[in-house]
Chains A and B, each alone.
Chain A
Amino acid sequence: MFTSNTEKEKQEMLDAVGVKSIKDLFKDIEPSLLAGKFDLPAAMTEAELSAHIKQLAAENKPLVNFAGAGIYEHFIPAAVNAISSRGEFLTAYTPYQAEASQGTLQAIYEYQSCICALFEMGVSNASHYDGATALAEACGAAVRIKGKNKILLSAALNPEYKKVLNTYFKASNVAVFEDCPLNNATVDLNCLKEKLSSGEYAAFVLANPNFYGCLEDAKSISKITHEAGALLIAQVYPVSLGILETPGSYDADFAVAEGQCLGNTMSFGGPGLGIFTCKKEYVRYTPGRICGISKDADGKRAFVLTLQAREQHIRRERAASNICSNQALCALNAAVYLTLMGPYGMREVAEANIENAHILKDKICSLKGYKLKFDKPFFNEFVVECPKPAAQIIKAAAKKGILAGYDLGRNDKTLKNCLLVCATEMRTKADLETFISVLRGI
């Protein structure tokens, strides 16, 4: 499949190479290694494949979605995919030859700029694998900057992120993590102060909004963290920054995020878009590709990958990270999305989320047996305590075509009746009504 040389052409090429058969090209491989059988089913034509895959797609049953917990369903204008599916973007490689990759490079530069604008941060890289791995890299950077290996985490950090942090650093011991306890679902400022006062921590990782959807007192947290000589790493929700205070405004040293919500589909959790930003002074500690502006031989503006001496292909074992691939196409989607929405569109999207979620909260809490678990300001996600285990509710609602939310009992048995519910701008009034009537019937 997909090879195009004819038998005659292949023979001409073999003659040119000076061998009799293709087998002669594999003479370095001992015959016993070439004897293996490959057990694959009969090959499919494109038409057969298409039917097969469409059938599998139909075996997925996307539900009307009230789940978030890290991956969010937002509106994606058709223009986003129309642009990123162009072969010129889709089938290019990493822009090693800058003069022949100005499109990708300028798009990355615009992505970096849009992200810096949204986050009010100094520098963004060209993207990372996903939010969790971007956070891991930020923790690694904090350890190198401070020369200390302990990192304090908000206990309300996404549990998936915690798992990834542990996997990343367990073997090397480069960073060790400890939870900072909560007080009614947000960071306990007194505990934070006390823990950090030991001076042992390189950084505090703040999740804002946190995993329970609550907004944190980020300014106070930042002040306490910096007074203790530690760095502040903020893990945020990009869409919320259309309206919410930014990590730059509360002086975060690093801000990371899952950027899927910006123009990328949920796709069962991957590919994600790891957003990595920091203050300008820490740019040398940034992993991965970064695009910058320079000039060409005629003095014309040109874009190029820069600060490459940080990276693995030059520093090898002394590199800060092994990252090579980024998520360029997902970053392109985000850049197109942010360009389409603009400053006011982003604000409107964020406001629509806030309103939808608050209306839904009121409606759910008016149901018998349901109540708001944590009474804190929130963006588009909140926790409700249900009359039954959340797992049961999710199961029953799914039968009615609704994804009711995320079962907090998955990670914390004491919250087994708690459901983390999200309503983005995608949910219509009718969706909310359906959800309520489904809950009423459970």
Chain B
Amino acid sequence: MNTYPHNLLSIEKSSLGRRGPQIRKAQKDASAYLPKEFLRRTPPNLPSLSEFDTVRHFTNLSRLNFCLDTHFYPLGSCTMKYNPKAYDVLSALDGFSALHPYTPQDYAQGTLSIIYGLRQQLKAITGLYDFTLQPAAGAHGEFTGALIAAAYHRSRKDFERKEIIIPDTAHGTNPATAVMAGCRVINIKSAPDGRVDIEELKKVLGPKTALVMLTIPNTAGLFEKNIKQIAKLAHEAGSLLYMDGANLNALIGMVKPANMGVDIMHINLHKTLATPHGGGGPGAGAVGVCEKLADFLPVPRVEFDGKKYKLSVKSKNTIGAVKSFYGNISVIIRAYCYLKQFDGQTLKEIAENAVLNANYVRVKLAKYFPAFFDEICMHECVLTIDKGMLPNAKTIDIAKMLLDMGFHAPTVYFPLIVPEAIMIEPTETENKQTLDKFISALISIFLEAGTNPEVLHQAPRKCPVKRIDEVMAAREPNLRW
């Protein structure tokens, strides 16, 4: 038995006529102002709860979640690091949150200076020439970057460049992005060491290549040793080099992407720069570019004339706007705060500790769940099941068993090139004691899987619900009350 609160829906707790907060009512009803045909016929089927009912309902829902504040959350490639509490308070200050986007610029200098300031910080940590903070998420940033590449080639009358080369380890967003930007995807197989196969790359690079899109380090947690050569080959072929910055946590303070030859990159502010994920968003996907691409960045942009910050839409080549307004401000403020707490020396402690933690987990588990690529990893390690030792074990069962032991599961079944993949990213903010407990948990799961695999298959038993029937959910979609 578990002691989690019962999961009635709000509408099931509803009692018609029960009311929440009061607002000042109108003197006359709507029909005094508007013809009847514009009015809705029946009130919406929303719950009728008191304020107290509502607070208790959602507070109890919150207790059904694992989250970073309560659980180790080693979700590979998602960089679930501590989200400093000060930033929550600071980003929510009225001065920021009560600002209408059409407030005249003189009255919005604080927010504009933060947009400008984060842009300078991102330039400093990447070596890139300029940034936009408009994109709302990593995938949105990818899309922005791909549009910039396409616009650049078009501006050179290089109309044939419509291919984007993507390795098979890439996140699914990369190929989906390429198609949205009007390009064709050229998939390339990775080399046996998990990195880009230079010979394969050479075969597909050519006058049609618009972009080579790489995640660095890649999703196997490995650094592209030959990145300078890759950049050179891409550039010689007339292509641009895109870096998916989802894994920047491994390099921050150590390597500037611009020095690797990167022309365009996005940074998931909600990953490397410690802003909370909010159960799936909002995130932010800042996009940086080299000098020749700067004029293609979206508008409006924030400029500084030495005295005042100004919004500018002046640009000959801009791709336009990828969303309304200037970016996800509350996320941008938090990221700005985070970088304000580091200097040029301490910044590298992020990457150093992230990489040390990942390698510690990898080595400690090597005898049980070996790393698929047996070498020093970066910020995350990708483990697999040794079918010789555990012929019947499945990663999904291991993931669910971890939940019962009080740990969020790692990313599983990704990257696709690794069978039964278990992708662990501890991040730098976890301490050794937590890692040791997690390692012990996985070792005990290993032992159980050898002797009693059925028990694993029945996990989780201690979560608010047991294993969920996903087939039923998809065959008979029930998506609303």
Contacts and interface: CB of A to CB of B under 8 A. Distances in A.
B474 to A, nearest CB: 5
Contact of B343 (A42, A245, A341): A42
B23 to A, nearest CB: 6
Given A2-B428, A69-B102, A270-B101, 10 more contacts: A9-B431, A40-B121, A43-B340, A90-B279, A108-B279, A113-B11, A322-B177, A324-B171, A325-B270, A348-B26
Nearest to A174: B182
Contacts of A173: 182
A37 B468 contact: no
Interface stretch (B74-82, B196-204, B445-453): B74-82
A269 B222 CA distance: 38
A174 B183 CA distance: 11
B46 A339 contact: yes
Contacts of B180: 168, 172, 321-322
Contacts of B59: 83, 86
A322 B64 contact: no
B331 interface: yes
A132 B82 CA distance: 32
A123 interface: yes
B79 to A, nearest CB: 10
A430 interface: no
Contacts of A182: none
Contacts of B127: 36
Contact of B282 (A101, A164, A271, A292): A271
A36 B34 contact: no
Interface in A11-56: 12-14, 16-19, 22, 24-30, 32-34, 36-46, 49-50, 52-56
Nearest to A75: B23
Interface residues of A, number: 200
24 contacts: A4-B429, A5-B431, A19-B376, A29-B225, A49-B340, A55-B110, A57-B95, A62-B99, A62-B100, A67-B100, A71-B100, A101-B65, A102-B65, A113-B11, A167-B322, A172-B180, A267-B97, A268-B329, A301-B7, A308-B474, A314-B172, A325-B270, A348-B26, A355-B28
A2 B466 CA distance: 35
B46 A343 contact: yes
A317 B179 contact: yes
A208 to B, nearest CB: 10
A1 B104 contact: no
Closest 6 CB pairs of A and B: A269-B325, A57-B95, A329-B278, A172-B182, A269-B101, A87-B69
A160 interface: yes
B62 interface: yes
Contact of A99 (B28, B29, B49, B465): B465
B290 interface: no
B304 interface: no
Interface in B314-366: 319-331, 333, 337, 339-344, 346-350, 352-353, 355-357, 359-360, 362-364
A249 B470 contact: no
Nearest to A99: B463
Given A266-B98, A269-B324, A10 B356 contact: yes
A215 to B, nearest CB: 5
Interface residues of B, number: 198
A293 B477 CA distance: 7
B432 interface: yes
B139 A322 contact: yes
Contact of A2 (B95, B121, B274, B280): B274
A433 interface: no
Contact of B399 (A37, A97, A242): A97
A294 B254 CA distance: 46
Nearest to B407: A100
B344 A94 contact: no
Nearest to A23: B352
A63 B107 contact: yes
A114 interface: yes
B113 A59 contact: yes
B114 A56 contact: yes
B178 interface: yes
Contacts of A79: 21, 51, 54-55
Contact of B480 (A17, A123, A271, A398): A123
Contacts of A104: 65, 279-280
A16 B255 CA distance: 26
A203 B44 CA distance: 27
A304 B98 CA distance: 35
Interface stretch (B143-151, B235-243, B384-392): B143-151
Interface stretch (A144-152, A192-200, A330-338): A330-338
Given A16-B363, A104-B279, A336-B58, A28 B109 contact: no
A36 B150 CA distance: 30
Contacts of B25: 348, 351-352
Contacts of A89: 62, 65, 67, 278-279
Contacts of B24: 352, 425
